[in-house]
Amino acid sequence: MTDTLNDIALAMVEDGQGILAADESTGTIKKRFDQIGLANEEENRRAYREMLFTTDEAMKQYISGVILFDETLRQSTKDGRRFADVIRDAGAVPGIKVDKSAKELAGFPGEKITEGLDGLRERLQEYHGLGARFAKWRAVIDIADGLPTRGALAANAHALARYAALCQENGIVPIVEPEVVMDGPNASHDIDRCYDVTELTLNMVFDELYAQRVDLPGMILKPNMVVPGQHGPKADAQTVAEMTLKVLKATVPPAVPGIAFLSGGQSDEAATEHLAIMNKIGGLPWKLTFSYGRALQQAAIKAWGGKPENVAAAQSAFTHRARMNSRAATGIWRPEDEREAA
């Protein structure tokens, strides 16, 4: 029997599990490899992803889905098993980033529009054939004086909704990701400003999803948490959790099965703690979990350092973070858990 979009979405937010965002483009993974002094070559990118996807405990117990980049969906382990099959055999859903990244928006200095709608139907059909069952599209919303504008928000919300409708037409669950960024060029705003911009963004996105006839039970929302800009006045973890829940309750219909946060530049532990507090508060109409890139991978990539002899150490670093976030997804994580042996 074929899974419905809602079946797939529910599997992506299964209790105590979350999504590994390993969809760094070739340009973004270069930034990560630069930190460990590793050349950005296809074989290194493949070896790094093999290390992650063959981490048994993490993949089987804590990870419900993996977002891949186009190149990665076409790659295999050293012994010839396609990554999509490795992920599926571990009980997780393979997914694919389909946007073509954020470019300058004409007429709106300092603002971006995510591209990639042209030819998307055909690409989705191919990705489905390669095993992908969900997709991701990220809109980038920067906060600065007078920004974002309604014009830029409307363009991004419309593109997200057109993308989501095309995914569903092709049997693929869309992850709808409107990211109000915390580490943009300015990033000195406070948490209240992040709240207001996130509220406006999510309202405009859900208006467009409705207008484009997107089926809410067949999608996942991937939002930012409500946090101050990187250089803005700090906020404590309880405040972040409460304000994030407040904005989500005000804007996200209960028909959406799950919300999987991005980490967005938060420290590994902050991303875990915020998610844990929200789930501890509980009583929510949707599942609340993680779809972290940096906050799941940072420790692992450092431990790996591009060396085959470090694969086991890297896999235990990845397992540790995945386990911590799994506990956060059910609200049972405590700060002292961080000291557990990896």
**Under the rule (CB under 6 A), what is the footprint of ligand 13P?**
21, 138, 177, 262-264, 292-295
Rounded to 5 degrees, what are φ and ψ at 60?
-80, -35
Please state the closest distance from residue 66 (CB atom) to ligand 13P, in A.
Answer: 11
Q: Determine how many CB atoms are found less than 10 A away from the CB of residue 36.
A: 15
Tell me, yes or no, if 60 is annotated catalytic.
no
Q: Which of 177, 179, 208, 273 is catalytic?
A: 177
Contact 300, 292 (CB under 8 A): no
Does the active-site annotation cover 136? Answer: no
Question: Given the complex with ligand 13P, which of 158 and 321 has the nearer CB atom?
Answer: 321
Angle separating helix axes 26-35 and 294-304, nearest 10 degrees = 50
- Min dist CB 133 to ligand 13P, Å, is 17
For strands 112-114 and 102-104, give the pairing.
Answer: antiparallel
Alpha helices in the chain (DSSP H): 5-12, 26-35, 42-53, 56-57, 70-73, 83-89, 120-129, 150-169, 191-211, 237-251, 268-281, 294-304, 311-330
Rounded least distance, CB 21 to ligand 13P, Å: 3
CA gyration radius, the chain: 19
Rounded CA separation 285/38 (Å): 44
Do 287 and 257 touch, CB atoms closer than 8 A? yes
CA 136, 95, 289, 59 dihedral sign is: negative
Q: Which residue's C-beta sits nearest to ligand 13P?
A: 293
- Quote the CA–CA distance of 310 and 83 in Å, as a whole number: 21
Minimum separation from the CB atom of position 293 to ligand 13P (A): 3
Toward ligand 13P, which CB reaches closer, 131 or 264?
Answer: 264
| CA distances (Å), origin 50, targets 201, 208, 316, 323 | 36, 38, 14, 19
| CB 215, CB 168: distance < 8 Å | yes
CB of 97 to ligand 13P, least distance (A): 8
Q: How far is the CB of 320 from ligand 13P (least distance, A)?
A: 17
Question: Least distance in Å: CB of 263 to ligand 13P?
Answer: 3
User: Of 139, 115, 52, 36, nearest to 87 (Cα)?
Assistant: 52
Our CB check for ligand 13P shows the closer of 177 and 283 to be 177
- Show which residues are catalytic: 177, 222
